[in-house]
Amino acid sequence: MINNSSLQKWARLESKSLNSQFTNDIIQGMGCSNFEAKAILDTVHKVYGDYFDFSKELAPGKAKFIVISVEDSPSKKLSEANKVSVILTINDDNEDIKIKKDNGVIALRQHKLSRICNEAFMQGGLLTVEDIANRIFCCGERTIVRDLKVLREQNIFIPLRSTIKDMGRTISHRSLIVKEWVAGSEYTEIARKTNHSIKAINNYVSKFKQVVALMEEGYDIHTIAFLTKISTHLTEDYIDIKAHFHIVPSRMHELDTLLKKRKLNQ
């Protein structure tokens, strides 16, 4: 028997997202159908998605944290380690509600755990078990340790200060993913080879595109790293890939299209 009250609860939660607000405004303002409004929304994300990260204000569901820099050795004392500011997605209505609805609270927590760790890593920082348990999820550290064990058993890569022993090797691994992309490999193929989620791979590629665009506009490495919220070492790796690695025509077309869009908007 279908629990109508439960279905209504999920519908109410989904209706609170910005996407829902946008489609409702389009439907009411233009008199179009729900299907047409969603098609417009999809087009907006497709065309402007690469620019959303440059907003000066935090998007709903995101929060800023100070964490340990990825460039410091795990052997360095926490009190002496360099710190960086990162923006983490604590809640994402577009994916979190469905995951909780389909798989439950524990699966949602593990999904969020993977997301925030990779987001911090993408921005040049590393979270610790203590950070996640006490500052973000407000739960016991043993809970996070159990979640990490489950994720490891699923071959899901979780970058933490306690698990990253060789920064150079790890950063090169991210560059390897971008090299696979510029060589023409599809996201599903890269995900299978690297045990990364398609969303994480898409994030890596998006950052690479932003680095290339800013480089073409004449920004220096440190400014590019600041604007894209990644480390200077990874910025240098991405610039090196653009300069010296063979990029197949289809991927070059994507990069050229992005550059043309940016010029038109300047």
Instruction: Say what the pLDDT of residue 53 is.
Output: 52
* Residue 73 burial (C-beta neighbours within 10 Å; 0-12, 13-18, 19+): exposed
**Per-position DSSP letters for 175-241, written without gaps between them:** HHHHHHHHTT--HHHHHHHHT--HHHHHHHHHHHHHHHHHHHTT--HHHHHHHHTS-HHHHHHHHHH
The whole-number average pLDDT for the span 101-105 is 92
Q: Mean pLDDT check: name the lowest of 41-55, 90-104, 181-195.
A: 41-55
Name the one residue in this structure whose structure tokens are 């220096």: 220
Name the one residue in this structure whose structure tokens are 């299907």: 35
H or E segment at 67?
strand 62-69
Q: Give residue-wise pLDDT tens across range 51-61.
A: 555 556 778 88
Instruction: Say what the pLDDT of residue 120 is.
Output: 86
User: Are 230 and 212 contacting, i.e. CB atoms less than 8 angstroms apart?
Assistant: no
Cα atoms in the 13 Å half-sphere on the side-chain side of 233: 17
Instruction: Say what the pLDDT of residue 169 is.
Output: 47
Instruction: Say what the pLDDT of residue 171 is.
Output: 52
H or E segment at 113?
helix 105-122
Q: Mean pLDDT check: name the lowest of 5-9, 23-27, 63-67, 142-146.
A: 5-9
26 Cβ partners below 8 Å, 6+ apart? Answer: 32, 36, 37, 40, 41
Residue type, 58: L
Helix (H, G, I), strand (E, B) or coil at 66: strand
- DSSP one-letter code for 160: B
Instruction: Say what the pLDDT of residue 214 is.
Output: 92
Helix (H, G, I), strand (E, B) or coil at 85: strand
Helix (H, G, I), strand (E, B) or coil at 126: strand
- pTM for this model (two decimals): 0.54
Q: Mean pLDDT check: name the lowest of 34-38, 117-121, 171-175.
A: 171-175
Going 236 to 237 to 239 to 243, the CA torsion angle's sign is positive
Q: Give residue-wise pLDDT tens across range 172-215.
A: 567 878 998 999 988 888 876 665 678 888 888 999 999 999 99
